[in-house]
Amino acid sequence: MAETVTITAEQLRTEVQRLLTGAGLPAEDAQVVTDTIVAATLRGVDTHGVAVLGTYLKRIRMGATNPRPNVRFVRQGPAFATIDGDSGLGALAATKGMRLAIERARETGVFLVSGYNNTTIGAAFYYSRMAALEGMIGVAVTNAPPSMAPWGGLKPLLGTNPISVSFPRRDADPIVLDMATSAAAKSKIYLARDKGQPIPLGWALDEKGRPTTDPEAALKGLVMPLGGAKGYGLALTVDLLAGALSGAGCLGAVASLHHAMDRGQNVSFMLMAINPALFSDNYFDVVEEVVRQIHECPPAEGVSQVLLPGEVEAGVQARRLETGIPVPAKIVEEIRSEAAHIGLEVHFG
């Protein structure tokens, strides 16, 4: 088999929805999760897209993830809510939470949703961008299982804990910041392993605290924080905003997505929608002036143009819609293996 197979976005959408439904998700829930997987894959965030599907199916099969969760708001106030994901796929609670935040922020100006008791929510940008597409500034942070030591330490206590903030624009795609607080998302190390590729130096340490380019050694060691002590501080901040605010707990309270198949993952998140129209009359004018100045900034040698956060990913999406989505053959085989457990075949690759 070739190292990669190429599929269309429509093939991916059809197969993911069919497999998730076959695994026990109601059709409407399967569509929600499918949307997050397809969106991440199209924008090149493969680690939170098609690459995670096999793990989702396995967790459902092993009883670690609830395929039919009772996702419900357990607290609500004038500008906040808390949502219980009932150990389901986190996309369900996060999508429901951000929809409420967008709706309520139209009147309140700001609305915050704290969520707990979830399997991973996937790519954080999906939720912040949801808000931006509705004219809101969107914020999404979520915690993750320990893989990174606090600065100066050797024990993994913190996750890669991503942050995403999206800003709406006038008649243009939003500005989308989406970043892990580690030097790289741990899922990128898994993806490098699956592709048989080394990782860049500076991403991780091995078990003895030595820098490594071997993804297997990295997965047994430590992920490095982004920007040293600053990344550690950001990761801790996200964990507190997600795990402490929701009451679900931080640090080791979050279980591994890939290895803890005997329990719920207990991922928490914090989502926020901000309605700029209630804060000022010229938000969009200011943003467009920022965009103009960024794009007109003289590029450094070897750089064709200075870009805004999210523009690289938007370019990947345009190419993949035109030429197809490359999927590592190993990931196809993982999905095929899990599909076989529920009596289904995989129709790509």
- CA-CA distance, 60 to 97, in Å (whole number)? 22
Torsion of Cα atoms, 91 then 92 then 94 then 98, to 10°: 120
Distances (CA, A) of 15 to 4, 50, 313, 339: 17, 10, 23, 10
- Which pLDDT value is given to residue 71? 98
Spatial contact of 65 and 75, defined as CB atoms under 8 Å apart = no
Q: Which residues contact 285 (CB under 8 A, 6 or more apart)?
A: none
Structural domains of the chain sorted by starting position, each given as residue range(s) with its CATH number in brackets: 4-182+225-281+312-341 (3.30.1370.60)
Spatial contact of 191 and 51, defined as CB atoms under 8 Å apart = yes
- CA-CA distance, 249 to 243, in Å (whole number)? 5
User: Whose structure tokens read 């026990």?
Assistant: 24
CA 42-44-50 angle, 5° bins: 70
> What pTM value is reported for the model?
0.92
CA 181-261-35 angle, 5° bins: 60
Three-state secondary-structure class, residue 265: coil
- CA-CA distance, 112 to 271, in Å (whole number)? 6
Q: Token pair of 145, please?
A: 């299982």
Residues of the chain with pLDDT under 50: 1
DSSP E strands: which ranges in the chain? 4-7, 72-76, 80-88, 110-118, 137-142, 163-167, 175-179, 204-205, 211-212, 222-223, 267-274, 325-328
Q: Which residues contact 236 (CB under 8 A, 6 or more apart)?
A: 150, 158
- Which pLDDT value is given to residue 248? 97
Which residue from 95, 85, 76, 134 is spatially nearest to 248, judged by alpha carbons?
85
The CB-side HSE value for 8 (13 A sphere, CA atoms) comes to 4
Residue 342: what residue type?
Answer: I
What secondary structure, in 3-state letters, does 83-108 show? EEEEEECHHHHHHHHHHHHHHHHHHH
Three-state secondary-structure class, residue 137: strand
